[in-house]
Amino acid sequence: MAQNVSVIVRDDDRARLEAIVGDRNQRQKHMQRARIVLLSADRLPVAEVARQAGVSRPAVWRWQGRFAEQGVSGLLRDKTRPPGTPPLPDETVARVVAMTCAEPPGEATHWTGRAMAKGAGISLSSVQRIWAEHDLQPHRLRTFKRSNDPAFAEKLRDIVGLYVDPPAHSLVLSVDEKSQIQALDRTQPGLPLKPGRAGTWTHDYKRHGTTTLFAALNVLDGRVIGRCMARHRHQEFIRFLNAIEREVPAGKVVHVILDNYAPHKHPKVRTWLARHPRWTFHFTPTSGSWLNAVETFFSTLTRRRLKRGVFRSIVELQAAINRYLAEHNQAPRPFTWTRSADAVLDRLDAIPVPSV
């Protein structure tokens, strides 16, 4: 190919090319092609045109020839290319969607991309594209538990009423136990987080025993009363109730929200409750522990303190939990329930019930 090509540009074409180069809203590829022709019109060598335009020499020859054949309009138009792979038929897409929503063959628990590609006779990328377009995620599974408590609505309204409009001169406490908190220690020291490298720890661990955290969340101000105990029987629960009794100001009526765990309904607990008339228990519906506000505190405690913690003994674990309780109570936040009981019931009614 010639290293010097004479490109003749008329005055009107030069004006159009300069307008394209100076238009900030013009496509970058069109500006580049127009610059190639303008530089060529100044009798510059092909190598110099390629250097100033930031392209290869074959690209310079290509757009010089296109301008000579079709003028400025040819620079603004890409050559038609042969069509690529034709799109999948609608019948194939519908078949993949139907197969994904059905049970996989054999003993497989769910469809994988490669298994679906083999079963449908298409490529893996096509399967992935169909799943993305139809928001199908067969690898994911969400858990649920629908309450079958016959008094569900009544208990729901009772507890939501305590959250939204607590009685005057009273205290609303959400009480529960977080049992079997393990004191886990790693077998070797890990490496800290650094730029470009995640923190590390060993895959195995040492067990140093367990503890149980009894907690009572004050819904009105967000403070938590907590005690760590070795077990979670009715004896420990009564000890925890006595601890709360000592901290609650006299003259306050105490409303306690708690689940249906057997020690909460033990005869000795009922006897204790009879001896303390200012206390009233409100039990959540069966399989309705999500109504218990203290569960949010347990979730935060697990994420921020327990999940990645390294504890060499039960004493060390309990000390860490007690420090977290103290830090939490320094800046507590009131618990706020945002939905009415009717809204919760409407939402639950809208969820389809699986057939048995």
For residues 68 and 167, membership in a common domain is answered with no
Distance CA 36, CA 16 (A): 14
pLDDT band for 127, please (50, 70, 90 cuts): very high
Q: Can you give the CATH number for the domain in which 247 is found?
A: 3.30.420.10
Q: Give the dihedral of Cα atoms 45, 48, 54, 57; nearest 10 deg.
A: 40
Is residue 49 domain-shared with residue 175, that is, in the same domain? no
143 belongs to a structural domain = no
Domain membership of residue 254 (yes or no) is yes
Res 8: pLDDT: 80
Look up the pTM and report it. 0.69
Q: Are 106 and 164 contained in the same domain?
A: no
Co-location of 163 and 52 in the same domain: no
- In the chain, count of helices (H) and strands (E)? 14, 5
Query: How many domains are contained in the chain?
Result: 3
Tell me whether residue 120 is in a domain. yes
In this structure, the answer to whether residues 177 and 286 fall within a common structural domain is yes
The 279-283 sheet, strands edge to edge: 224-229, 205-218, 170-186, 253-258, 279-283
**Most confident among 48-57, 147-156, 211-220 (mean pLDDT):** 211-220
Q: What is the pLDDT of residue 245?
A: 93
pLDDT band at 329 (very low <50, low <70, confident <90, very high): very high
Could you tell me if residue 62 is inside a domain?
yes
CATH of the domain at 63: 1.10.10
| CA-CA-CA-CA dihedral for 127, 131, 136, 140, to nearest 10 | 60
The tens digit of pLDDT for each residue in 149-206 reads 898 999 999 999 999 988 888 999 999 999 999 999 999 888 888 898 898 988 999 9
pLDDT of residue 353: 65
- Do 105 and 48 share a structural domain? no
301 contact partners, CB below 8 Å, separation of at least 6: 178, 213, 321, 324
Query: Please, what is the angle between helix 113-120 and helix 90-101, to 10°?
Result: 130
Range scoring the smallest mean pLDDT among 5-9, 97-101, 245-249:
5-9
- Shared domain check, 275 and 207: yes
Kindly state whether residues 161 and 310 are assigned to the same domain.
Answer: yes
Assess whether 225 and 269 both reside in one domain.
Answer: yes
Q: Is residue 139 part of a domain?
A: no
Q: Is 1 helix (H, G, I), strand (E, B) or coil?
A: coil
Is 161 part of a structural domain of the chain?
yes
Q: How confident is residue 350, by pLDDT bands cut at 50, 70 and 90?
A: confident
**302 and 167 belong to one structural domain:** yes
* Same domain assignment for residues 42 and 187: no
Contacts of 19 (CB under 8 A, 6+ apart): none
Domain with 18, as residue range(s), is 11-75
What pLDDT sits at residue 13? 86
Which residues, in sequence order, are CB contacts of 164 under 8 Å at separation 6+?
Answer: 337, 340
In a domain? residue 244: yes
- Number of Cβ atoms within 10 Å of the Cβ of 40: 25
pLDDT at 130 exceeding the cut of 70: yes
- Do both 208 and 104 map to the same domain? no
The answer to the question of residue 111 being in a domain is yes
